[in-house]
Amino acid sequence: MKLLRTIRLDPSDTFIFERAAEPGEWAVPGGFVFFDADPAALEGKARVAFRSGFLGIASLGFSTLVQIVEANEADHAAAVESLAGQLVTRFGAPDLTTAHRAAAEEFAFATSLTEHPPDTLIAMHRVFADGAIRETFRTLKPRGGPKPLRAFSFLEVEEEEPAAKDELDLLTLARKEAP
């Protein structure tokens, strides 16, 4: 079985998200975090998290990229239990049974993204369109086979659907957040 883990190739997640996920956390797309939000009203770091953040389940922080990794049934069960606990304590799920079902569904969706080889990176683009949250995913694979994971060594990109035209100026965002 394969699951998604957060990965940090450079420090950018630590300044583009309000809370960055720690590298190596189990991750899910996490669109449910924005269920009650008005996407049009989101600004700054919250908007960036909405548009491109995978949810690290231990910290409830965000990661721009996740990596497909091998996992066993015990890893999967522990990850589902951890997310279920977060759904009760942080998101108001009515009970652990309901939360467990929701967490299992979220991990089933995350697992559906792992049909690629281990070490493949996945990026996401999330939009609000026609009254619903829509997510598209891109895979980034090292050209010429496995190589050390460096931020700029990933050149092959596979897109399931073209992403909406959105631009993000990281330099301007970082300047706005600097004291």
pLDDT tens-place string over residues 98-144: 999 999 999 999 999 999 999 999 999 999 998 889 999 999 976 66
From residue 67, give the alpha-carbon distance in Å to each of 8, 56, 98, 123, 177: 10, 12, 28, 9, 28
Q: 43: Cβ–Cβ under 8 A, 6 or more apart, which residues?
A: none
Burial class (CB within 10 angstroms; exposed 0-12, middle 13-18, buried 19+) of 12: middle
For 10-35, how does the pLDDT look when each residue is reduced to its tens digit (9 = 90+)? 999 999 999 999 999 999 999 999 98
Question: Is 157 within 8 Å of 138 (Cβ atoms)?
Answer: yes
Domain boundaries, the chain: 2-177
Continuous segment of H or E residues that includes residue 14: helix 13-16
